[in-house]
Amino acid sequence: MSKAKLTFDGEEYEFPVVEGSEGEVGIDVAKLRGATGAVSLDPGYGNTGSCQSSITFIDGEKGILRYRGYPIEELAEKVSFEEVIHLLVYGELPTQSELDELKEKLNEYAVIDEGIKDVLNGLPRTAHPMAMLSTAMSALETYYSTTGSSDEDILRVIAGTNTLAAYIYRYKEELPYVSPSKDLGVASNFLHMMYGRPDEDPDVDEVVAEAIDKLLTLHADHEQNCSTSTVRMVGSAHASLYASIAAGVGALSGPLHGGANQAVLEMLQNIQDDDGDLEKYVELAKDKSSEFRLMGFGHRVYKNFDPRARILKKSADEVLGALGKDDPLLDIARNLEQVALEDEFFVKRRLYPNVDFYSGIIYRALEIPTEMFTVMFALGRVSGWVSQWHEMRNDPAFRIHRPRQIYIGENGRSVQPISERGE
């Protein structure tokens, strides 16, 4: 086994080097503090491997994303989201009989207890959908938690999230809830529950359903991002799957993570409200002294074109063409995309349009409310969250997560009586 050498205070230490199946190299510093008395400092954990995982591989330099070894481009083109769920959770693409069984279970677990509706009905309609989703996910545990790690819990969380998302939309719009169908796939069932009528058979637009299915696949997992790391962190305390997923929803709600696609549309709306002066905002984005931030461009991991964005760019063109949408915001988005792909400032800095930019455009075209965009992200990502959680809980090297810190506060002080602390 290779070793990495560290010289510290005149002493030399060796640490194991771990190599992944795709050639990634990590230095195992688990015994660093015990050996040297020091810890590593890595703000934001950008250079810290928190685990070994066999679920998702990313090469940000080359623009590669694979689930269980399969390129995202092939998965998005050739398989359904249900097949991706099976791949992430169980490790392999399903046979037809396995897929049929999975669909049957997902449809069974999409029916949630009536008491969950009471939970939603008790929330203010003005609340953000992500806050409502986190609340409802926590409530699911009170009705269904068994061992917290069974196949039933895993699939119930995935199917239940689909139903909760649709119900949140219906509640906010003051519409009656629509029960899930036993005959539809995940994407179609979501659209049925969101836009259907309680007294009518499902009538789902295939173009829209296919677009949603692809979006769910593209958002399914993305390695150790903020929300996935949160799910693992909470789960490492042996918190239940439901509690861990609720925490992941909270992390995803942030505008620097899952909320970015909502921020994209809000940015486009601001540009439109300012007489559509795109050039003004492009120049503001280049100005370091400006507080304006161009949302939906660049990525923490990818230094090349986000492969998911390539797929969604094509999908956005197809969806807009099929639906014949004429929307000023979509025109602004197209023009902004063209600027970013051609302007030397953006090209030099590799600020390509990312998955949030195109997903926001598609959701807008599908007439999904802007504040529901992050919930749509969660619909896909929950399959990755439960897979990561399950992998962690079954890892022989499992430990509760407990990061260290470098303390920079006051040194030891004595408490003075309040009468001696001055005015």
Q: Are residues 79 and 14 in the same domain?
A: no
Q: Are residues 249 and 294 in the same domain?
A: no
272 within a domain of the structure (yes/no): yes
pLDDT for position 361: 82
Of 53-67, 116-130, 184-198, 294-308, least confident by mean pLDDT is 294-308
65 CB neighbour count, 10 Å cutoff: 25
Q: What are φ and ψ of residue 31, in 5° steps?
A: -105, 15
CATH number at residue 352: 1.10.230.10
- Rounded-to-integer distance, Cα 165 and Cα 367, Å: 15
Decide if 332 contacts 275 (C-beta within 8 A): no
Q: Are residues 245 and 297 in the same domain?
A: no
403 within a domain of the structure (yes/no): no
Q: What are φ and ψ of residue 395, in 5° steps?
A: -80, 125
366 within a domain of the structure (yes/no): yes
Mean pLDDT for the stretch of residues 278-288: 89
- pLDDT-based confidence at residue 172 (cuts at 50, 70, 90): very high
Residues recognised as catalytic: 299, 356
Q: Are residues 155 and 222 in the same domain?
A: yes
Mean pLDDT for the stretch of residues 295-299: 82
Quick check: 406 pLDDT over 60? yes
Q: Which of 183-192, 204-213, 255-264 has the highest mean pLDDT?
A: 183-192
CATH number at residue 18: 2.20.28
417 within a domain of the structure (yes/no): no
- Rounded-to-integer distance, Cα 178 and Cα 166, Å: 8
Quick check: 190 pLDDT over 80? yes
Is the model's pTM score more than 0.85?
yes
Which of 64, 80, 106 is where one domain is finished? 64
Quick check: 93 pLDDT over 60? yes
| Dihedral of the alpha carbons of 351, 352, 355, 361, in degrees to the nearest 10 | 110
Question: Based on the structure, what is the number of domains in the chain?
Answer: 3
Rounded percentage of the chain residues whose pLDDT exceeds 70: 99
Q: Are residues 166 and 269 in the same domain?
A: no
Domain that holds residue 322: 260-370
Q: Are residues 240 and 107 in the same domain?
A: yes
Q: Are residues 208 and 152 in the same domain?
A: yes
376 within a domain of the structure (yes/no): no
The letter for the amino acid at 413 is: R
Which of 223, 253, 283 is where one domain is finished? 253
140 within a domain of the structure (yes/no): yes
Q: Are residues 199 and 317 in the same domain?
A: no
171 within a domain of the structure (yes/no): yes
pLDDT for position 257: 87
Quick check: 325 pLDDT over 80? no
Quick check: 151 pLDDT over 70? yes
Rounded percentage of the chain residues whose pLDDT exceeds 90: 67
- pLDDT-based confidence at residue 276 (cuts at 50, 70, 90): confident
Q: Are residues 269 and 366 in the same domain?
A: yes
pLDDT for position 112: 95
Which token pair is 44? Answer: 């934001």
409 within a domain of the structure (yes/no): no
- pLDDT-based confidence at residue 145 (cuts at 50, 70, 90): low
- Rounded-to-integer distance, Cα 393 and Cα 141, Å: 18
Q: Are residues 18 and 76 in the same domain?
A: no
Q: Are residues 285 and 329 in the same domain?
A: yes
Q: Are residues 198 and 81 in the same domain?
A: yes
